[in-house]
């Protein structure tokens, strides 16, 4: 699946999240049970909605063909057991929306659990890969499209009159995810004649944000929420991730991807030993103080051409790593983490016939600024000055924080409901800086009485060298995150570490026990640097 995403990136159409399939091990299925037939089911409308239609389609055991959804091609998920696909279409009377909730029900061997799948970028839900994987693992699976578009389709954002469609934005932000939980539980109860024993939410990126929104606003929906690389602080980081383009346009300097890679490689090499050993991983990019000016004058070969890194190139990289600031120097948000792929947000076009290169903005923040802030999908982003950027950042906060910010630190109701929240975030996340997640966790600690009390129900793990949604997506990095969450929920055993396989800067596989925040991994001083057994979790001295 990672290869699928890279193909899309190579075609010049990047995407906020990898096409990511859960890989948690399945509960042993009861294959002796008689298969249940697909049939029409009555569905109770969630509060404030009307059920427009219910369709039920049976699928024989075999391969599930996932349709192509721009910019990704189709996929095939083999060995999926027979299931019933129930689609419930909801509307909010008077608002003109039509949101679909899909529930896939194994006809045999159900493990008694619900797993709801989140979305990616501007897609609210899953198109079949995650649903099929969940069914393979014995779950009844659910997702919703919230009545909006696909990954990079934002044609739904504005009304014909050019105003923000507040009903659809509300669906995408929070409302439809809650309604999907209500519908899925109702459908499961009706189909199996008993409710799900446990309900889980599983998402990354936009899906991670949805999981946090569920914990914040609908704390009784799920027993366990797996919310990785979460797009929380949406109103802030979406503008902040346009900063690399603003920098290049204002500095009139557009480094190539080869030059960006040279800066990243040099920084990783310089800061790799900070955790006590050279292992190809930067354990804490925030501690890395590599000065990009050290590369001025360095020769880089790119596509057969020898390029020389300039002071202007170094200045651009310094600003991107540092993150957005006001013209007076006030910090607005975190920059791209050192070790992450700079060209993901600082993309450029190939040289035209005259050798002119321009910025190629990442579609997600570009759409947010053009459509929701400027209310003009054709707005020229190259016109954004540093001072205008600050105004856009503050406008986004003012207009959208309460709708889609997903940054309320009061998780007391979720804690009191008995829910468990588990998150990992890649420290080399090229799209969503991990520091936003760290700051959110710190705010929860301040609100709810400190680290130990928060650890009772919410744990965060930071994965060195890991890109956006980079575990369990086919890149070689992996962890059984859903399995760890399930053990926590069902057996009361909280994960002190999250065993993971990572890929370092030399593209070699290493094992690590990801530490529960705020602990960090430190080398013991002996043993194989590629083995988790050579490291231990310690509290950083500054915490």
Q: Which residues contact 461 (CB under 8 A, 6 or more apart)?
A: 422, 423, 424, 425, 495, 497, 498, 514, 515, 516, 517
Is residue 468 flagged as an active site residue?
yes
CA 147 from chain centre, in angstroms, equals 20
Distance CA(282)–CA(340), nearest Å, equals: 10
From 120, 174, 176, 205, active-site residue: 205
From 97, 272, 408, 429, active-site residue: 429
CA angle 470, 474, 477 (to 5 degrees): 50
The sheet with strand 224-228 has its strands ordered as 50-59, 83-91, 99-106, 140-144, 113-117, 198-204, 224-228, 420-426, 458-463
Is residue 257 flagged as an active site residue?
no
Task: Work out the number of other CB atoms within 10 angstroms of the CB of residue 265.
Answer: 13
The DSSP line for 97-149 is --EEEEEEEESS---SEEEEE--BTTB-S--SHHHHHHHHTT-EEEEE-TT--
Is residue 378 flagged as an active site residue?
no
Buried b (16+ CB within 10 A) or exposed e, 366-377: bbbbbbbbbeee
From 92, 178, 425, 468, active-site residue: 468
CA 37 from chain centre, in angstroms, equals 36
Distance CA(204)–CA(5), nearest Å, equals: 15
Distance CA(278)–CA(382), nearest Å, equals: 41
Do residues 58 and 81 lie in contact, with contact meaning Cβ atoms separated by under 8 Å? no
Distance CA(222)–CA(202), nearest Å, equals: 10
Residue 66 bridge partners (DSSP): 75
Distance CA(103)–CA(206), nearest Å, equals: 20
Do residues 531 and 303 lie in contact, with contact meaning Cβ atoms separated by under 8 Å? no
Distance CA(202)–CA(195), nearest Å, equals: 19
Residue 354 CB burial class (10 angstroms; 0-12, 13-18, ≥19)? exposed
What are phi and psi for residue 470, nearest 5 degrees?
Answer: -85, 0
Distance CA(375)–CA(140), nearest Å, equals: 40
Segments in 377-533 forming alpha helices (H): 386-404, 412-416, 434-448, 451-455, 481-491
Give the residue numbers annotated as catalytic, written as ranges: 205, 429, 468
């Amino acid at each position: 699946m990672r290869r699928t995403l890279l193909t899309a990136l190579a075609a010049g159409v990047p995407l906020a999240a990898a096409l990511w399939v859960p890989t948690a091990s399945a509960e042993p299925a009861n294959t002796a049970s008689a298969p249940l037939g697909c049939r029409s089911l009555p569905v109770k409308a969630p509060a404030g909605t009307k059920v427009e239609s219910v369709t039920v389609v049976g699928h024989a055991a075999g391969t599930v063909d996932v349709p192509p959804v721009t910019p990704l091609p189709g996929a095939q998920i083999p060995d999926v057991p027979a299931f019933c696909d129930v689609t419930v279409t909801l509307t909010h009377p008077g608002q003109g929306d039509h949101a679909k909730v899909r529930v896939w029900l194994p006809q045999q061997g159900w493990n008694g659990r619900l797993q709801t799948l989140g979305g990616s970028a501007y897609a609210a839900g899953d198109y079949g890969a995650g649903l099929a994987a969940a069914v393979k693992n014995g779950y009844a699976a659910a997702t919703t499209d919230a009545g909006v578009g696909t990954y990079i389709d934002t044609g739904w954002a504005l009304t014909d009159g050019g105003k923000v469609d507040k009903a659809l934005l509300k669906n995408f932000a929070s409302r439809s995810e809650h309604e999907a939980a209500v519908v899925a539980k109702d459908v499961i109860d009706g189909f199996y004649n008993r409710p799900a024993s446990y309900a889980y939410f599983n998402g990354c990126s936009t899906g991670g944000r949805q999981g946090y929104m569920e914990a914040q606003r609908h704390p009784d929906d799920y027993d366990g929420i797996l919310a990785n690389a979460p797009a929380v602080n949406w109103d802030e980081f979406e503008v902040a991730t346009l900063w690399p383009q603003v920098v290049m346009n204002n500095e009139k300097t557009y480094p190539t991807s080869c030059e960006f890679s040279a800066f990243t490689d040099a920084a990783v090499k310089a800061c790799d030993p900070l955790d006590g050993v050279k292992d190809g991983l930067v354990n804490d990019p925030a501690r890395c103080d590599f000065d990009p000016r050290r590369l001025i004058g360095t020769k880089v070969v790119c596509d057969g051409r020898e390029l020389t890194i300039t002071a202007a190139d170094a200045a651009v990289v310094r600003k991107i790593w540092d993150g957005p600031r006001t013209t007076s120097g006030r910090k607005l948000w975190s920059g791209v983490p050192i070790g992450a792929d700079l060209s993901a947000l600082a993309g450029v076009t190939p040289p035209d016939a005259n050798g002119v290169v321009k910025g190629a903005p990442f579609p997600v923040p570009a759409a947010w600024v053009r459509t929701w802030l400027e209310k003009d999908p054709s707005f020229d982003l190259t016109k954004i000055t540093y001072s205008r950027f600050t105004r856009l950042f503050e406008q986004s906060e003012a207009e959208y924080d309460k709708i889609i910010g997903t940054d309320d630190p009061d998780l007391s109701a979720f804690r009191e409901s008995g829910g468990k929240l588990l998150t990992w975030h890649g420290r080399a996340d090229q799209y969503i800086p991990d520091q936003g997640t760290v700051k959110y966790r710190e705010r929860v600690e301040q609100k709810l009485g400190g680290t130990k009390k928060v650890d009772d129900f919410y744990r965060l793990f930071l994965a060195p060298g890991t890109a956006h949604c980079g575990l369990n997506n086919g890149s070689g990095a992996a962890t059984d995150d859903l399995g760890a969450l399930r053990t926590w929920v069902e057996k009361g055993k909280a994960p002190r570490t999250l065993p993971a396989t990572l890929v370092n800067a030399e593209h070699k596989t290493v094992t690590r026990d990801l530490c529960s925040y705020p602990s960090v991994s430190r080398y013991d001083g002996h043993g194989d640097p590629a083995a988790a057994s050579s490291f231990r979790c310690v509290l950083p001295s500054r915490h």
